[in-house]
Structure 1
Amino acid sequence: MFPKFLYFFLRVAGIVVALIFFYRIRAVFFPFILAGFLAYLLHWPVEWLERKKINRGFGIFLLYLVLGIMIFLITKFFLPSFIKQINELIAVLPGYLNQVQEFLDRQQAGIDRGSLPPEIKKSLLIQIDSLEKSVAGILKSLLATLWGISSHLFDFLLAPILAYYILKDVHNLKKNILGYLPVDFRDEAIIFLKVCDHVFGRFIKGHLLICLTVGILTGLILYILKIPYSFLLGLLAGIMELVPYFGPILASIPILALALLKGKVLFIKTLLAIVLIQQIEGNVLAPKILGDSLGLHPLTVIFLLLCGFNLGGVLGMILAVPVAAVVRNLYFLFRWRGNSLEVDSKNFGKV
């Protein structure tokens, strides 16, 4: 009895020590997580090249070469303009913020002078104040996320190297990971990975294409309308498309604010342009690229976005929908498998 108890105690102690150790070195995992994400994005073209009878290692090198050339061209032709617009925006941002604050103050003063009943006045003032705080909180979370990303520069440089080895040995890695699992759970693990790959694959590829399209359209139209910082605002609109429903609204706030400061006519033109882009995205791009692959009701999506933001900020909003879709698909899949096993047991006496 004592040896069994001692064995159990040592196993529990070993698990606790391992958890403490992994928690202490948690920062080490970040480049590996980045590398895994990068490898996941690149495994589709790598496997396509492999099907074309190109050696896997050479195919990865060829893909890296193409990406390197693209990054060089983007850096050469677009980065200087991007940096210039950021510096200009930083210089004029305090003035713009003061103008926005003056505009909001004028609206509040107009409400105070109006002939509305006191209860309605109070409600409108509370709503304006709540809107200011909500937008400020979301922007603060977004800036904190961007700052956190920028503080991991070395990890971003290390990730492509790690991703190369993951892509090169991915089949052996899968076999080794499955080999550590009990035999009874391997089929479920394979199903879980396939469901995750299906949902996240459709979500990531589709949303990246939508982000690219919306970002280019927004930047181009803002440039035509002569809105300042069109390149920067187009990039922001493309990134915020990752967040369903709320992302486009948040991206449109600074665009419309800048347009309003330039004049009411330009504001109306910009508003119509943003509505047009969102109609194209919602009625043409999203149905064709994503379809109903996630299988979630819009009310469910909004609820998940709010939960994701409450738990993990902007990153939580981005991950909430695909994670919920994975859980949903797994639930129905394993429920279907459970029903199939029950039918088999009744008909054939099997469990």
Structure 2
Amino acid sequence: MIQKAIALIPSEFRWGLFFPMLFLNGWLLLLLIQQVQPLATIVVLAILFAFLLDYPIGFLEKLGLKRVLAVVIVFVGALVGLVALALTLVPEIILQANELLINLPHWLELIDKQVDVLNAWVEARQLPINLDGLTVQFSEQLLRQVQVIASRAFDVAFETLGSIANVFLILVFTLVLTLSGDRVWQGLLSWLPLWWREQIQNSLRQTFENFISGQFIIATILTVLQTSAFLLLNVPFGLLFGVVIGIMSLIPLGGATSIAIIGLILTIQDFWVGIKVLVVTVILGQINETLIAPRILGNLVGLNPFWLLISLFLGARFAGPLGLFLAVPIASFIKILADAIRTSGAMKET
């Protein structure tokens, strides 16, 4: 009955109603998510972890193991690995991060001294350039942004993972989704018409599961390569910088941005060390982008760079770091679904 009533509305008016309804539903969804926090974040993290564990579970199933046994093996193995990382690498990373924040004001003083030399050279040639004001603003902004980012990162981590109850809930939801995730998705999608069910199911698998798993694999490889290279070159804070670049590479353009910032920080301390780090990181980044990423991801994103930047901005604006990570697969999912709707509409008209 509703579909017949909608069909009577001219197509131009239907599209005119579509966007206000989409905006209203999206706004209501955001309000609902805010009201049920931190449960929404816990569920999203559990879904992400379930996506990541699904590949090794599927591999063990192909070897002949039952799914329950495969889930137990992979789940216990992942827990042991996370605990081992938490006991070995995390304390050293926190120590290096604290030392970096302590040394940052000293490095800013080095910037001031170098700029004073450059400013004297400019004044000797009577050039109409004043670098002192720019230096002070840059130093203050850099210090403020680093402190804000560090405090925000710790706030997000402690809000989500700070309590044992939240960690326990994430583990429970992840285990439930790995055991019966397919039934959960099928139950939710069964409320939709057949065409929408097929399109959403195919688009979700293509964008979320493949993209997220591929991004984590690429980030892990890049973290190992960058950290190993930094340690071999005796780069200060090598473990911290390698892990930061790997984590930031989960976000499109994040890896390149972190490389530029880290290269600038190291160049201030030691020019040649900064140059070596930039050369090594660029080479490893190109190897990752040209050889590794295409084999793992293929062409999953399919977004114009303009819409890619818009999606990253909106994701960070509405959902913080987690939204920044999920912005690209969500935007890619919307694009694939919109293309399917347009193709279906064109086929009906012909």
- 1:277 is aligned to 2:284: yes
2:158 to 150, 158, 163: 150
1:43 to 54, 62, 74: 54
Distance in 2 (CA, whole Å) between partners of 1:271 and 1:21 is 44
1:178 to 172, 189, 194: 189
Distance in 1 (CA, whole Å) between partners of 2:132 and 2:175 is 56
33 and 274 in structure 1: CA distance in 2 versus 1, 3 angstrom threshold: closer
Q: CA RMSD in A?
A: 3.6
TM-score (norm 2): 0.76
Indicate the residue corresponding to 1:195 in structure 2: 203
Indicate the residue corresponding to 1:27 in structure 2: 38
Indicate the residue corresponding to 2:12 in structure 1: none
Following TM superposition, by how much is the alpha carbon of 1:141 offset from its aligned partner in structure 2, in angstroms?
4.4
User: Could you say which structure has the larger radius of gyration?
Assistant: 1
- 1:301 is aligned to 2:308: yes
Indicate the residue corresponding to 1:113 in structure 2: 123
95 and 117 in structure 1: CA distance in 2 versus 1, 3 angstrom threshold: closer
SS at structure 1 position matched to 2:38: helix
Distance in 2 (CA, whole Å) between partners of 1:192 and 1:124 is 56
Partner amino acid for 2:58?
E
Partner amino acid for 1:333?
A
Distance in 2 (CA, whole Å) between partners of 1:189 and 1:73 is 41
Indicate the residue corresponding to 1:92 in structure 2: 103
SS at structure 2 position matched to 1:295: coil
Q: Deviations over 1:68-112 (max 9, x none)?
A: 332343345434533443444354344334444x25753773586
167 and 97 in structure 1: CA distance in 2 versus 1, 3 angstrom threshold: same
Distance in 2 (CA, whole Å) between partners of 1:113 and 1:303 is 42
Distance in 2 (CA, whole Å) between partners of 1:83 and 1:135 is 18
Following TM superposition, by how much is the alpha carbon of 1:233 offset from its aligned partner in structure 2, in angstroms?
0.8
* Structure 2 segments unaligned to the other structure (5+ residues): 1-28
Q: Number of paired residues? A: 320
Indicate the residue corresponding to 2:85 in structure 1: 74
Indicate the residue corresponding to 2:329 in structure 1: 322
TM-score (norm 1): 0.76
SS at structure 1 position matched to 2:299: coil
Indicate the residue corresponding to 1:6 in structure 2: none
What percent identity do the matched residue pairs reach? 22
Following TM superposition, by how much is the alpha carbon of 1:150 offset from its aligned partner in structure 2, in angstroms?
2.3
SS at structure 2 position matched to 1:26: coil
* Structure 1 segments unaligned to the other structure (5+ residues): 1-17, 344-351
4+ residue runs over 6 A deviation? 18-22, 122-125
